[in-house]
Chains A and B, each alone.
Chain A
Amino acid sequence: MSERKIRVLIAKPGLDGHDRGAKVVARALRDAGMEVIYTGLRQTPEMIAEAALQEDVDVVGLSILSGAHLTLAPRVMELLKANGQENVRVFIGGIIPDEDTAQLLALGVSGVYGPGANTDEIAGDIRQAVAQIESSAEA
């Protein structure tokens, strides 16, 4: 069996057009040896869940700068669950107020990153999250 690759979907739900952050993260994860499926701007939660299913990803990264994170993130997670992908970990990057970060983490989001976040740290967190899913799947 060849080496297992971590597959990550990077998507930008919502209507703002700033995808620089998503691209920086996509590039950093590529350099960390992951396979990043980049879906681009203005994705609906339905499109994101469909892509996550077809691509059988381990992780979904959402880039949200519009302020709608408390609507979009739970919706994506709901749809993932409806598709039987409750094991897929969701990470969020963007402009997220601290109190919302706490709320998102409580909802089951695995990590929230703002401007200036260290990309090595993001990659490390993703690796750890995926390793956790796998060890719990084996147990």
Chain B
Amino acid sequence: MARLLTQIENDTPSGRAALAELFRHTGRAHLIGVTGAPGTGKSSLVNQLARFYRQTGSGAARPKVAIIAVDPSSPFSGGAILGDRVRMRDLAGDAGVFIRSMAARGSLGGLSAATAGAVQAFDAAGYEMILIETVGAGQAEVDIARLAHTTLVIEAPGLGDDIQAIKAGILEIADILVINKADQPGADNTERALRNMLELAHPVGRAFPEASRPFASPGQMETAPNIPLWMPLIRRTVAIQSLGIAELAEAIAAHRQYLQESGEWQRRERQRLSSDLETLLHEALIARWRAAVDEEYYRSVANALLTRQISPHEAVARLLRG
């Protein structure tokens, strides 16, 4: 398993072949993305959730849990320090939990290019819960929402005012908003800001903001008729004291049920696979074009650009003309 993940990460021919073989067996796992700013407690929460899943289920109902923890690579040396395991020591010695750290290796969306492949490998290997922890994310690292079925966005008190909360980006992708470190002062303010943000975004659902069931909202159904909306849930936790974890797991289960009953699960899968296809196609086309283009010519155009004889757009046009 571990070696396969390395091959996938390094994009070796044998890794690709294995993925091709495995792909038919994927599609069963619940993919849970965990994102949020650095230091909000993503790793600690993942640790607690995994422990919860392993402790509450009994016998065959105890799901196998895989954790993929992504940390940033240095833009200069390409090296990385992957420190998420430090927070996950409770899970050591449990054969039903597999933790794999990955370096982002230059990807900007908060995941590494190989994360999707690693997820498929775990899925095919029978891991039913796959927790994917992103790089500590700022405002725009939203790739996780494309990959995961359920996206948790972790907030902590004291990280900015209500204007931060209505900006576009990371908060929009949340299926469940988690206020971790909820024992800290300011948790009430954070919750209020997030709740206000949700109400602005989902005016119809506002009547029942706390219910864990989706609401049909006539005003917002133009784009996807017959799909009830999911009202993002807000949960408070204190990960290091194991507080609020059961409630969070319940919210995750409710979201899963919503996904399955509304058909959203299939819709997300379809979207994910077509965007995967698009990305791979991009890479393959660029690689193919690079192999075909005359290196000498490429350099001469790049030089013309460097000496400011032509603009970047002109350079592209010239290269594509060949």
Instruction: Report the minimum CB–CB distance from A120 to chain B (whole Å).
Output: 13
On whether the beta carbons of B93 and A38 are closer than 8 Å, the reply is no
B116, CB-defined interface residue at 8 Å: no
Contacts of A55 in B (CB 8 A): 2, 99-101
Please report which residues of chain B, range 52-75, place their CB below 8 angstroms from some CB of chain A when the two chains form the complex.
73-74
Contact (A1, B2) CB under 8 Å given A33-B78, A35-B82, A36-B79: no
A2, CB-defined interface residue at 8 Å: yes
A132, CB-defined interface residue at 8 Å: no
Partner of B82, one of A27, A33, A38, A56: A38
On whether the beta carbons of B2 and A54 are closer than 8 Å, the reply is yes
On whether the beta carbons of A35 and B100 are closer than 8 Å, the reply is no
A75, CB-defined interface residue at 8 Å: no
Q: Mark B230-259, 1 if CB is under 8 A from A, else 0.
A: 000000000000000000000000000000
Contacts of B101 in A (CB 8 A): 35, 37, 55
Interface hit among A43-51, A91-99, A106-114: A43-51
A103, CB-defined interface residue at 8 Å: no
Interface hit among B7-15, B180-188, B265-273: B7-15
Contact (A38, B86) CB under 8 Å given A55-B2, A55-B100: yes
A39, CB-defined interface residue at 8 Å: yes
Contacts of B76 in A (CB 8 A): 31
On whether the beta carbons of B93 and A37 are closer than 8 Å, the reply is no
Give Cα distance in the complex from A3 to B105, angstroms: 10
Please report which residues of chain B, range 170-184, place their CB below 8 angstroms from some CB of chain A when the two chains form the complex.
none
Query: Interface centre among A7, A35, A39, A43, by most B CB within 10 Å?
Result: A35
Contacts of A5 in B (CB 8 A): 10, 78, 103, 105
Contacts of A20 in B (CB 8 A): none
Contact (A40, B79) CB under 8 Å given A5-B103, A56-B6: no
A34, CB-defined interface residue at 8 Å: yes
Contacts of A32 in B (CB 8 A): 77, 79
Contacts of A50 in B (CB 8 A): 92-93
Instruction: Report the minimum CB–CB distance from A37 to chain B (whole Å).
Output: 5
B80, CB-defined interface residue at 8 Å: yes
On whether the beta carbons of B82 and A36 are closer than 8 Å, the reply is yes
Number of interface residues of A (CB under 8 A): 30
Give Cα distance in the complex from A56 to B11, angstroms: 15
Instruction: Report the minimum CB–CB distance from A105 to chain B (whole Å).
Output: 27
Instruction: Report the minimum CB–CB distance from B11 to chain A (whole Å).
Output: 5
On whether the beta carbons of B2 and A53 are closer than 8 Å, the reply is yes
Contacts of B39 in A (CB 8 A): none
Partner of A30, one of B6, B77, B105: B77
Please name the 8 residue pairs, one residue from A and one from B, whose CB atoms are nearest each other, closest first: A30-B79, A56-B2, A40-B86, A47-B92, A56-B6, A33-B79, A33-B77, A37-B82
Chain A residues with a Cβ under 8 A of chain B: 1-5, 7, 26-27, 29-40, 43-44, 46-47, 50-51, 53-56
**Given A35-B101, A40-B85, A56-B3, 16 other A-B contacts at CB below 8 A?**
A1-B10, A1-B12, A1-B13, A2-B105, A5-B78, A5-B105, A27-B81, A31-B74, A31-B76, A32-B79, A37-B82, A39-B89, A40-B89, A46-B92, A54-B100, A55-B100
Report 16 cross-chain contacts, Cβ distance below 8 Å, ordered by A residue: A1-B12, A5-B10, A27-B81, A29-B79, A30-B79, A33-B74, A33-B77, A33-B78, A35-B82, A36-B79, A46-B92, A51-B99, A53-B2, A55-B99, A55-B100, A56-B3
